[in-house]
Chains A and B, each alone.
Chain A
Amino acid sequence: MKLQLTLNGSQSEIDLLSPAPHARFRFDGEVERQAQVEIPEPGVYSILIDGRSYDARVEEQPEALVVVIDGYRFEIVARDPRRFSRSGAGRSGEGRQTVVAPMPGKIVRVLVSPGQEVAVNQGILVVEAMKMQNEMKAARAGKVVAISAREGSVVKAGEVLAVIE
């Protein structure tokens, strides 16, 4: 089984030649290696390679498979060969940008008004969630075309608070 992966943003390939418990694999075209694998509990992989012991914990998140080993976190997605780069997706230098609530919270302050020109990183509004205030900033320069947030109002995650063009 050969898998093309994007691993913490960089491209990798793993070829699983035989499954657990006596796994054989080839990573990024390196030499074939052996691993003795046990699964002591669901999602936990005890892996012995060349006498070294690793405890890998796998979490299924909707947007990525997350593997945690020794406190280090790896976000893994299947690589889509049809695209060569996703790095610029949705974040081009022009066009409409929406400011959305990252989590449910309360609008503490609105710092701009419709029609106002804003600079990159300029504060747009302040949202309070979990007792902390976060200033939402403009990702790039533009003109505020709409502000749907009102000071004191409670917003849901993903709600559009402002639109900048």
Chain B
Amino acid sequence: MFRKVLIANRGEIAVRVMRTCREMGITSVAVYSDADRTSLHVRMADEAEHVGPSPSAESYLRIDRIVDAAKKHGAEAIHPGYGFLSENADFAAACEASGIVFIGPSAASIRAMGSKTAARRIAIAAGTPVVPGTDHGVTLAGARDFAARHRYPILLKAVAGGGGKGMRRVDREADLEGALRDASSEAERSFNNSEVYVEKLIERPRHIEIQLFGDRHGNMIHLGERECSIQRRHQKVIEECPSPLVALHPEMRHAMGEAAIKAARAAGYYNAGTVEFLADADRNFYFLEMNTRLQVEHPVTELVTGLDLVRLQLEVAAGGRLPLTQDEVAWTGSAIECRIYAEDPYNNFLPFPGKLTRLDRPLGPGIRLDGCVYTGWTVPMEYDPLLAKLAVWAATREQATDRMLRALHEYDVGGIRTNIGFFRQILEDPEFRAANLHTGFIDDFFQRNTPPAPPAGLKAVAALAAALHARTEAKIPEPQAAPNRWLQAGRSDLLR
């Protein structure tokens, strides 16, 4: 086993990896930018190295500086975490070239699965189902032909696209020509490339993904699925294991697991990886993409399988064999995770950096908290505003939901805004409790709900607290003629 590992990341995931390193007696080396000198991952690490200014392009994305730091500290391996350089094939190759073990798959596997279109070709060749689509730009005749074969609704997407630009849903033939023209011109404006391709539209899809693990001796197993259908801005915010849909139809786990293994094997994959699928109402599932790294939401799999995925990653990277076979993987109970962000959910999820003045963390039965924050810390504005991942385990989904509500009730973060209250509202929602999940859930939720109004009696208590505080501590502020920039950011119609 390695004696020293450098963690090429920051935030909660760096802390998460260090915890397992410490349990395994491995010395951990942190890297940090100017903004992160006092961040928890630096304080927790055994050793630390400064790698540049705050913008990640000049620090956490600098392959040269990170490899130099590993050499300087004598680290034998680098754990990339998620994000930053974790899916960068050049980084994996640079580690290999320097004689440092990259804790993840080979550079070749990352390259193969890194491009969406290349990954799709691999999946098709391996017999894994994919969403029917043209994969290349089409003319009106081509789009018509596709729709005739696969039926409406279809989705037009920019070839060079992302972020929903140049995307149009088409429900019938009569709308096709206009939609194609709109999508094409929007694609041209956004990406300087007017090419548009066609995909079959999956209505109200669920996002279900399979956790894979392979060693360098040809063994590969799956650790079951996670359902991550609750998303905002195309980013997951609540994840569960098992998927409520798969729990009702256990044969899906086996079918999706086998399909994922086939696709990953075709790319010569080893270490941790995740194959993402979309599932439709008829329980058909389609390959979406493969993430060639540890996922943010890995704790729910750990809670239900009892495994430590970071430990497995380290063991496999050090050349060890997987310590268990497919038959030995067992799933017990139900786990849910909420990603706690510094953001205002009732204002388009606007990020809310700032100083944490107060922090009360949930404790007690069945709670797991992977975080990187402490009282007095300032959430930097340079990075993703993820504060912590709150995960719970219980015997059933219903109990896990109740436990999560209890944990959110105990969670108090002062000085900044967070999505804690929003999660409470979602977890109490009858549609969530009935597990009617799909990737458009949050948009629907906002159609059905308004921000929660406090119970009637609470106003008097708030006024009393303010009066007591004003009497001894600070004067209650006068209304300001011009709201400051945060109020502007929070409330002005400019951002709506």
A residues touching B (Cβ–Cβ < 8 Å)?
1, 3, 5-8, 12, 14, 16, 19-20, 23, 25, 27-28, 30, 33, 35, 37, 42-45, 47, 49, 54, 56-65, 67-74, 76-80, 83, 86, 89-91, 99-100, 102-104, 121, 129-139, 157-158
Contact = CB atoms under 8 A, between A and B. Distances in A.
Interface in B446-484: 452, 454-455, 458-484
Given A6-B479, A23-B468, A63-B487, A121 B496 contact: yes
Nearest to A133: B163
Contacts of B350: 102, 134
Contact of B468 (A6, A20, A63, A139): A20
A104 B379 CA distance: 14
A67 B382 contact: no
Contacts of A76: 462-463, 466, 476
Contacts of A8: 459
Contacts of B163: 133
Of B357, B421, B462, B471, most buried by chain A (CB within 10 Å of CB) is B462
A149 to B, nearest CB: 13
A69 B365 CA distance: 23
A15 to B, nearest CB: 9
B468 A16 contact: yes
B440 interface: no
Interface of B: 163, 233, 348-351, 353, 357-358, 381-385, 408-409, 412, 414-415, 420-421, 424, 452, 454-455, 458-489, 492-496
Contacts of A49: 461
A126 B231 CA distance: 22
Contacts of A57: 358, 412, 414
Given A71-B420, A102-B488, A78 B478 contact: yes
A19 B463 contact: no
Contacts of B494: 99, 102, 136-139
A77 B495 contact: no
B451 to A, nearest CB: 10
Contact of A56 (B349, B357, B461, B470): B461
A102 B357 contact: no
Contacts of B414: 43, 57, 59, 68
7 contacts: A3-B466, A3-B467, A12-B459, A45-B469, A63-B480, A90-B483, A137-B495
B358 A59 contact: yes
Contacts of A138: 494
A7 B464 CA distance: 12
Given A58-B473, A71-B421, 7 more contacts: A25-B467, A67-B466, A71-B424, A77-B479, A130-B381, A136-B494, A139-B492
